[in-house]
Chains A and B, each alone.
Chain A
Amino acid sequence: MVWGGWSEFWAMGGYGAFVWGAYGVTVAVLAVEVWLVRRRRRLARDEAARIRRRGA
């Protein structure tokens, strides 16, 4: 363990804004991508199911 406590951890030796800014945006971007791709799959599935109900 290299940290003296949580506040020291969040401060990142004075570079907290940069480190957490980079990590935060990365997490946000990846989360949005996961959400979008799951939504796309869900919509495609629903559509396929709807066509099946109506057609067959």
Chain B
Amino acid sequence: MIGTVAAVVRRDLLLAFRQRADVANTLLFFVVVVTMVPLGVGAEPNLLRAIAPGVVWVAALLAAILSLNRLFAADFADGTLEQMLISAEPLPLIVLGKTAAHWLVTGLPVTAMSVVLGVMFDLGAEATATLAAALALGTPVLSLVGAVGAALTLGLRGGGVLVSLLVLPLYVPVLILGAGSVEAVAAGLGAAPYLLLLGALALFALVLTPWAVSAALRISVE
């Protein structure tokens, strides 16, 4: 079981590192979007400190959405996905492996980069650490829920815009809890309840979404 997941993760990571530019572009997009905001709203430090958590989270959402296309599209195009569907290994496990690999090349770099952004927005040590922790717990949910959208829109025209329309409303709880945790720290309250709830969401998504993705893939490929 673990072996299946690990094999898929290793394969997808290998493929991702063969096309390093794709991975770098997602991270670059995240940073560029966040950078645009101070240019738009002005450089007033208190204002920036107040909006930073929301800005970073919205940028993380967009980066996740934009990278979703990579999750299944290439395997769908060259027929690998069909091989996965008919393989003897349970499909939810394969999906789990692919989603984990997607998180490792998108969510994890975004989480790491958020520390730098926290410093740039002058959030302070505790808030920056909370932001990174919240992203570490929340970005897996983005990959897992996003995988459902990616599987449903596989091979459809206008897939990119469509997948945002489907998935962004489902990201609302993650956005609220993630940005809320940092604001709670800024307001002098503890971030623990937010992080615990984010963790609960992540576990919930981890258990349920692989099945939904599998069902969606079978529908899209059949």
Q: Are A and B in contact, CB atoms below 8 Å, in the complex?
A: no
